[in-house]
Amino acid sequence: MKLTLADIKVATNGAVQGNDQVQVTGVAFDSRQVKAGDLFVALVGENDGHHFIQMAMEKGAKAVLAQEGHVLPGKVPAVVVADSFAGLQALSQFYLKQVQPKVVAITGSNGKTTTKDMTAAILSKKYQTFKTPANFNNEIGLPVTILSMPETTEVLVLEMGMDRPGQLTALSNLAKPDIAVITMIGEAHLEFFQTRANIAKAKLEIATGLKPGGLFLIPADEPLLVEATTLPENTKTFGPVPADVDESLTTTAWTENGQRFAIPMLGRYNVKNAEAAIMVGQALGLDLKTMASALAHFDLTKNRTEMLKAANGATLLSDVYNANPTATKEVLQALSKDAVDNLVLVLGDMLELGEQGPALHADLADAVLAAKPKKVALVGPLMVENLLPALKERAADLDVRGYQADQLEQLTTDLKKSLTARDFVFLKASHGIHLEQLVDELTTGWGKHA
């Protein structure tokens, strides 16, 4: 991104303070993340960004996008707008029109990050491709992603998150996708939406801003989507997963239209994510052989079914960014098919499930026992109060222990005392349980709390 304050004034209908030829080359809304040359966007929220302008400038910011009614320190170069949040979004649309990439938008209750990573890997074989970093998938993260793409970007792959009705409408209208994808409808956010049907309705909002004639991809085995009455004209389906899938802990392989595909990760459920990515690639002119090559070595975002090594040699499968019952059962099913020896399960609460939360946690018992773990650690009140007694009732001899969310240090100590180099540890929880702290301790901090 290379924009002058004069450009930003036009994009946001703001007023320039200082030299309008000052040029910025990046954007940040967190003063701790500012890099030299950035435009610091002072958002008004729980922490008013205007209080951190001086810090941002000291870290190398060249200018500020500020909101009316706030005093700016010194003679800081700035564009002052009526609303800095709206200004950020308007600026992203301005830059999007300048670069004019093809836009691929991806959402889903599970698998959207993996599908984003797969899609970007495929498209980068032919195009200059930029994708959503980490979890920048909301009303703030999405415009920052747009503004972070290089000027040479030909395809922009955007992940879109959702936790309330209307959110995907806003994001889709902001990005104006050429291709939109829904990976699946699960139980995520049942607390707010009550039913899967309501979740499906909200997910369909991703097509709101779809360009005329744009491609809309949905899973073939989801009636809530396939049978919807408001699908765009150019709607196609992907899946279901082929029958001949070969699975191991590190690779999942299958054949499609005569081409052998293999992805460097566990689980036939990820084949469906790959099929969505393949259909995006086909729509943009890539052949199956090229796409198979891309998927064989694609980079997966951190903490999404990430295979790691503990400091003592134990194998860790870290999937601690998000969790819902469907996704958790699918991984446990994959582990049971692989008959993993010395399996240790660390399962944390699956959040935002509302009134159905207790029953959905207890309902994991069959999948847990089918995986034949030697030890189970459950973290959080929903796991401890619901899954733990269900496991005790069904398998009295199973080594299963419960921990509250504020007992991660104790869990870390217990695991370090008991884990061997032969163990395989699967960790899964909603991000709010913060099992990533445990993963960090097991991989890099083994000398502590031992």
Indicate the annotated binding residues: 108-114
Residues 413/419, Cβ–Cβ less than 8 Å: no
Give the residue ranges of the annotated binding site for ATP: 108-114
List Cβ neighbours of 429 (8 Å cut-off, separation of 6 or more).
Answer: 320, 323, 346, 347, 348, 349, 350, 379, 380, 435
Nearest-angstrom CA–CA distance, 378 and 51:
41
Q: Specify the pairing of strand 306-309 against strand 315-319.
A: antiparallel
Whether the Cβ atoms of residue 203 and residue 167 lie closer than 8 Å to each other: no
DSSP E strand boundaries for 98-189: 102-107, 129-131, 155-159, 179-182
Cα–Cα dist 232/212, whole Å: 9
ω into 240 cis (within 30 of 0): yes
345 three-state secondary structure: strand
What does the block give as tokens for 217?
């991809």
Q: How far apart are alpha carbons 93 and 426 in whole angstroms?
A: 41
